[in-house]
Structure 1
Amino acid sequence: MRLLPIVVTTAGLVAAAPAMAADISVAVELPRIATASYHRPYVAIWIEKPDQTAVQTLAVWYQQTRNNEGDGKDWLKDLRTWWRKGGRAMTLPADGISGATRAAGRQSITVPAARLRGLQPGQYTMVVEAARELGGREVVRVPFRWGAANTANASGSSELGAVRVTVSR
């Protein structure tokens, strides 16, 4: 039997690489709420499988400095859905995930493909949860497809406005 040499070219490696190398961008509208005691919301953003099991937390915005009311981490449990699905198990602050609360208006994050290596192609849900001191709590779910360029939208009604998820190639 004769063995043929195998020649691998750069083009061959690119073609063999998964077609999933993509970034995810999430744009979240934090509405301006007219109230005498407005506090910026705590926000958690994470990815879930179709069965609603958490896959990965992408961002958590909370008060990161201690003040006369205590440590901001004490109030993360007000993000009840995120907290129960894995937030309580996280060590915060977490590099690349933790951030300060954000002002009203359009806020966005972009997560590079390198942080999403374990995500298999398929259907997922981006979940955004917001909770505000002396305010409400709201969860918005946005279904999206990982593995192909696409954009999906959903809207909240009180603590969150428009949420837009973009998977780019």
Structure 2
Amino acid sequence: MRVLVSSCVLAASLGLSSVSYAASMDVAFEIPRISTEKYARPYVAIWAEHSGESTPFLVWHLQKKDDEWLSDLRRWWRKLGRYDNHVDALTGATKGPGHYQETFALGDLNDFTLYVEAARENGGHSLVKTKINTQDRVTEYRIPADTELGDIVITLTP
């Protein structure tokens, strides 16, 4: 009987050790070149929503204390921005057209919706999202391009 119990405990612990969670997430995205007379660099926000909570990852904006255009990131503003939950360490200046890649630690996040939002003064607005579950065997997610954002590739790494 003791051997059977030991074997079951060993098998269970080996089974649990094979469950892996992603430790980080790479988000590669493009800010497309848009031909327009008055081009303004877009504001960009990336965050996760899970169980009624929001976790901010990145906000690119003008870096002014009273940045009047932050509310153009409409969903981010409703979920995080108006409550001043964006942390200075997560913010950066706006960037022009090009390819960008950012890496974020996931901590205990395992089942969430990732949002990427971009808005330009005198320009368009894009809000894209994808559901991510780090317990699935999927390690790459793709979101097709939208008006202010090119294709987005999300890669989970252990």
Residue 118, structure 1, aligned to residue 108, structure 2 = yes
Give me the whole-angstrom Cα distance separating, in 1, the residues matched to 2:146 and 2:123.
13
Q: Provide the residue aligned with 1:24 in structure 2.
A: 25
Residue 92 (structure 1) shift: 5.0
Check conservation: 1:62, 1:72, Cα contact below 8 A.
Answer: no
Amino acid at match of 1:146: T
Identical positions, percent: 37
Give me the whole-angstrom Cα distance separating, in 2, the residues matched to 1:117 and 1:104.
30
Give me the whole-angstrom Cα distance separating, in 1, the residues matched to 2:139 and 2:28.
14
Q: Provide the residue aligned with 2:125 in structure 1.
A: 137
Which secondary structure state, in structure 2, belongs to the residue aligned with residue 74 of structure 1? coil
Residue 156, structure 1, aligned to residue 145, structure 2 = yes
Q: Provide the residue aligned with 1:42 in structure 2.
A: 43
Q: How many residues are aligned here?
A: 143
Cα deviation per residue 1:3-45 (whole Å; 9 max; x = unaligned)? Answer: xxxxxxxxx9xx87x8325111111111100011100000110
Which secondary structure state, in structure 2, belongs to the residue aligned with residue 56 of structure 1? strand
Amino acid at match of 1:78: D
Give me the whole-angstrom Cα distance separating, in 1, the residues matched to 2:85 and 2:79.
14
What's the TM-score once normalised by structure 1's chain length? 0.74
Residue 102 (structure 1) shift: 1.3
Structure 2 stretches lacking a partner, 5+ long: 1-12
Check conservation: 2:80, 2:86, Cα contact below 8 A.
Answer: no
Q: Once superposed, what is the RMSD of the aligned Cα atoms?
A: 2.4
Give me the whole-angstrom Cα distance separating, in 1, the residues matched to 2:84 and 2:44.
15
Cα deviation per residue 1:29-77 (whole Å; 9 max; x = unaligned)? Answer: 111000111000001101123x7x4430100000114xxxxx5622111
Residue 83, structure 1, aligned to residue 73, structure 2 = no
Structure 1 stretches lacking a partner, 5+ long: 1-11, 66-70
What's the TM-score once normalised by structure 2's chain length? 0.79
Give me the whole-angstrom Cα distance separating, in 1, the residues matched to 2:36 and 2:87.
30
Amino acid at match of 2:57: L
Q: Provide the residue aligned with 1:8 in structure 2.
A: none
